[in-house]
Every structure is written in structure tokens, then in C-alpha cells.
Structure 1
């Protein structure tokens, strides 16, 4: 661990804050940080067995037609309704991953993102991964004013609606529409070497599940040769 990574872990608690108004919605996060070789230098081969084990686990636990009634899926869907998103049209990312798995397919993006997706589907918790060199800490989860501009991965710039929960950096750059869409500005790219890992919680999803999700991402990144901070922080 060089001085840069030592600083990340020493100051981990300061990387992300949840403002009071967002916390009042029941938003809670677990987070940590990881680092290693650039993404373009990594092989996804160590994750192939993990993907197979995940697919077998999901098929043994869930049925596609019953998925919407799972308590964790229900918790995220209810939160979506609460913040004005129809979850039957825009599914929570974790649920969408499980649905793909139950239909026999699995997305592969790059090894780091793949690690996040495996953990997300296993624990049914949305996972956000952010390039630590592409945003200015601290990140904050706040309710939008209504004039912020968001640049989604794979989409066009858009203005965020008022009171939508968002994650912004110190400059005010919108990194994430909570808990379902990430920005291309802070996304994981080929050159990424250091990341912030965030498990996005909502009411009725317990802290232990959030922490376990982050720990699983760190374990999987370890299989890729990356290192992580030992601690996982929960806020608020």
C-alpha cells in the first residue's frame, strides 16, 4: 500500500456523507474503497466460476414470476414509487440483474464492474462503483434543487427533477441518481485504478446486508488482484 492508498483508508469516513433530508427518506449506505492495476490490465477469468456459482444460487432460490414478492425486491420497488419512479418500467438494478440471470443471461462489462454486479445480484442490493480519480471528495447524497445536470452512462444530458435523491461531489457534479443510474463522468473506465464502492440502502433493507454486499465486492476484487480498505463504513 503506497501513501496514496494509505490516505484513502485513513480518510475513508470522509469520502461520503448522507445529508439529513436524504436520510429522512430512509437512505442508508455502506461504502469502502479498493485499488489495483488499471482495469484494462485485468482478466475477468477469476470471476467465471463466481458467475456460475451465482447463477446456480439464484436459480435455486428464486422464481421469475415470484421475484416481485421477495421482501428485498419489494423494499426497493416501494422506495422507487416513493421517489416518483415506476419500478415496473425502470427496475431496480439489482432486481434487473437477477431477472437476467433467471432468464439464462449475464452481462459482462469489465472485471471491476462485473465484480460489483455479482455482489449486487447475490445480495439483491444496488451497487455503485465510482472512479476515485474522476470526482472531488467528499461525495454527498442530497435532495436535488431541480437545476442540476446529469450525464448518464449511455444517455444524453438531462436536468434532475427537484427533490430527487442524488449523489454529488464537492464540485456539484452529479455522480448518481439514487439508487439506480450512474454518471459517465465518474464511471469505471479502462484507466481506472482506484474506486469508491457504495451499497445503496432503502427502508427495510438492514445494515448487515449492505455491509455484506460491500465486503463481497471487495472479496471479488481481491480475486482480481486488487486491494481494499479493511473497514466498511455505514452512513448515516
Structure 2
């Protein structure tokens, strides 16, 4: 399982998920994307192409193990995994997406390319959690330049969703203050995957991998992967 964290975050938000899958018998790779895990100023200098490039490198590392590879992502991690499925779907056995982002419904978002020059950063977007005692590790602020690059990722990924044909498992929080749940509906409507299963997470906000419904994601993704592997074995037999 190749796990991809979200924008301004780092693999710590993937750790409990990865540990669950490891204990279930899967190998897990969770790369740190370029610019992330440092200051917002460092993140501001990175681009979606660099983030995607690192994910592609990690896919090659996973494929080198000689086993079927799944990809899973949270928020922007879901965006990048969808792009991976568009570009290299033949290398993937399936996708697991948690609150995937594919568009921004905030009206001021389109101004990001211009705002970056007068307002280099805005308040942090991390830790949208229902659990009161948990914090997500993110940059202290959100760099507008990197956000503008993220929007460009959506601009190339959304029109090509029909290229996604791999089995898909989507988990969507009923209440999300960062990514509208409508993003998941757009993904479902756009892909051409024949096997698509969706689950609503009633008690979690955006960072659902660290929230109340995390076990639903963990167990559901393990079950999804086992089922896809069993299907593949039955075809070969």
C-alpha cells in the first residue's frame, strides 16, 4: 500500500493507517512529499509536479517488491493518487481515497495565483478534527503559492477522471470544513471504474485518518485490498 498524505501535512497523518495495514500483512510505503514537513516558506517553493514526482518514485519502489500495489490518500493525497491512476493505472490494483480533493468551492480560490504576491501565506488549514485531544502535524501557515499549484493539479486531474478504471474505495466525512464532501461525488461521477464503493464517516471531520471513524477506514481498506487480491487470484486460477 502506497499512502499519500495531504497538503501542508506529513506522513504522521498516515501512520495509524499504515500500522494497521502492516499488522494485517501488507507492506506500506508512505513518502514525505517535497516541501512538506518543514516551514511554510519551504513549502511555498514546491510544486504539484514535484509532489507527484515523489509519489511516482514511491510507486516504482513499491512495484520493485514484486507484489500488487494499491494507493491510498487523504485530501490532496487523494488528488495525487487519482492522477497516478490516470497516468499509470496499469500499475495499480486499486485506490482508497479519504476525503479526496478535486476542486475548490471557495469563491476566492481562483485569486491564489495573484494573491501570492501580496499575501504569501494565510492561516493554517490543518487539524480539522472532531476529536478534541488530537492535533495534526502541519506547517504553521498555508503558503498561497503552493495552494495555487495545488489548484493547477486539480485543473489537469479533474478533466481526465474518466481515465481512472481501477477499483475504488471512497471514505467521505459527513462534515468537512476543508474539502466539501461534494468532491467525492465529483470523483464518483467522473471515473470509469466498474467497482466503486463509498462509505460516509458520520463522526469525523477532514483528517478522518486520525478521527473517530479511523478504524472504519483502516478495516475497510484492508478488506477492500483482500477482496481485490482474491479476485485477481481467482482470475489467474
Q: TM-score, normalised by structure 2?
A: 0.28
Which structure shows the bigger proportion of residues in strand conformation? Answer: 1
More relative contact order, 1 or 2 (CA 8 Å, 6+ apart): 1
Which structure shows the bigger proportion of residues in helix conformation? Answer: 2
